[in-house]
């Protein structure tokens, strides 16, 4: 048995993404964020036990391996300056030889009790003062660079930590400053938060910073519930068989995502459609322009996912609710669901 095979056997098997039944809204939001991380991540709100964590781990496991600089704490890209640590950048610019290895896309879990130092990283002040070097211990944001950062129960996380995560996700950089010493490193990741509405909502200004908002509900159809339970039981009893059964579907989906990532830069969005997108946002009294930007990006990613270079009305229709439902001002006296409200306005303007 080869070393690689032993390593794969030692790793805990991950439930295959293509075996997940239902929850199409959540799956689509995750796939589009993988195709274009600039969409800004996804907030998944839903009942307990609806497969939120399973789906997020499954999408991370599905993704292809990436090229990283060997022994680098930031998963630095060997070619893209935007995704390199300062040390690697200097080495590349000075023409030094760099060893490159392949590794799985990082999937980092952020625990609820994490401190700011654990998230951002720490600077060894003593070493900096005595030896004159910037000694930096990378945090979770560094480990998540070029991967997925998952925060379960994000609505229970300290607000200032949520602010830090959202700032890094938006800018793609993390800056740590201590005692006049400043260190900056790349932190471009897909931020995925999940939560249960019963435990409280995020503040509107924080919620607005997530690109998409997927709502998932417990499956009510008895036959579908039986299917879900059987699928999970089969995987727990014989994970290798379940993975083998889904191998072709997993490869087909991976190929589709990879093609979409390559195609994305060529996708065009007609000016008239952009006007109508902004008209929808204006009619719904969406604050700021983040909603318009996210819809534009998500519609392009959806078109690329469907192997097209021109965005259609159907692309916009598929993602508009995901991009806007969490940006609407909540009226406690209104019984209409925010998703239905978005659909109604979309129909009125586009159809």
The Cα–Cα gap between 140 and 160 comes to: 16
The Cα–Cα gap between 166 and 172 comes to: 10
Q: How many CA atoms lie within 13 A of 69 on its CB side?
A: 23
* Bridge partners, 347 (sequence order): none
The Cα–Cα gap between 218 and 122 comes to: 41
Q: What are the angstrom distances between the C-alpha of 46 and each of 115, 133, 217?
A: 26, 47, 6
As annotated, the active-site residues are 290
Specify the DSSP element, H or E, that contains 287: none
CA dihedral 135, 106, 315, 289 (to 10 degrees): -20
Number of residues in the chain: 351
Q: How far is CA 60 from the centre of its chain?
A: 9
Backbone angles phi, psi at 18, to 5 degrees: -75, -10
Q: How many CA atoms lie within 13 A of 118 on its CB side?
A: 9
Residue 36, classed as helix, strand or coil, is coil
Helix pair angle (247-263, 290-305), 10° resolution? 120
| Tokens, residue 303 | 């078109």
- Pair type for strands 100-103 and 42-46: unpaired
Backbone angles phi, psi at 239, to 5 degrees: -60, -35
| Tokens, residue 164 | 């830090």
Give the chain's largest Cα–Cα span. 68
* Bridge partners, 107 (sequence order): 148
| Tokens, residue 329 | 């001002």
């Amino acid at each position: 048995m080869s070393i690689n095979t032993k390593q794969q056997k030692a790793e805990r098997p991950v439930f295959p993404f293509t075996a997940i039944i239902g929850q199409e809204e959540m799956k689509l939001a995750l796939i589009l964020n993988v195709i274009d991380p600039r969409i800004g991540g996804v907030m998944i709100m839903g009942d307990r036990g609806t497969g939120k964590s399973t789906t997020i781990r499954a999408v991370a496991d599905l993704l292809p391996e990436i090229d990283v600089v060997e022994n680098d704490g930031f998963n630095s890209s060997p070619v893209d300056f935007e995704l390199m640590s300062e040390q690697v950048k200097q080495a590349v610019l000075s023409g030094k030889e760099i060893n490159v290895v392949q590794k799985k896309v990082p999937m980092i879990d952020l625990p609820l009790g994490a401190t700011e130092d654990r998230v951002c990283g720490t600077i060894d002040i003593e070493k900096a003062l005595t030896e004159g070097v910037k000694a930096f211990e990378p945090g979770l944001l560094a480990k998540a660079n070029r991967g997925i950062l998952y925060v379960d129960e994000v609505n229970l996380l300290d607000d200032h930590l949520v602010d830090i995560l959202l700032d890094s996700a938006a800018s793609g950089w993390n800056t740590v400053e201590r005692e006049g010493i400043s260190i900056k490193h790349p932190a471009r990741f897909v931020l995925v938060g999940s939560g249960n509405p019963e435990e409280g909502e995020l503040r509107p200004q924080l919620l607005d910073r997530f690109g998409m908002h997927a709502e998932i509900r417990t499956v009510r159809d008895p036959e579908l519930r039986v299917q879900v339970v059987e699928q999970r039981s089969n995987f727990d009893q014989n994970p290798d068989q379940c993975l083998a059964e889904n191998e072709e579907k997993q490869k087909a989906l991976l190929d589709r995502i990879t093609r979409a990532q390559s195609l994305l830069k060529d996708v065009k969005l007609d000016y008239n459609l952009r006007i109508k997108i902004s008209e929808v946002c204006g009619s719904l009294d969406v604050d700021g322009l983040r909603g318009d930007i996210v819809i534009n990006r998500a519609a392009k990613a959806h078109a690329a996912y469907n192997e097209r270079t021109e965005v259609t009305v159907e692309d916009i229709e598929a993602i508009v609710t995901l991009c806007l439902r969490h940006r609407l001002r909540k009226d406690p006296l209104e019984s209409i669901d925010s998703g239905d409200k978005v659909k109604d306005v979309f129909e009125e303007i586009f159809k």
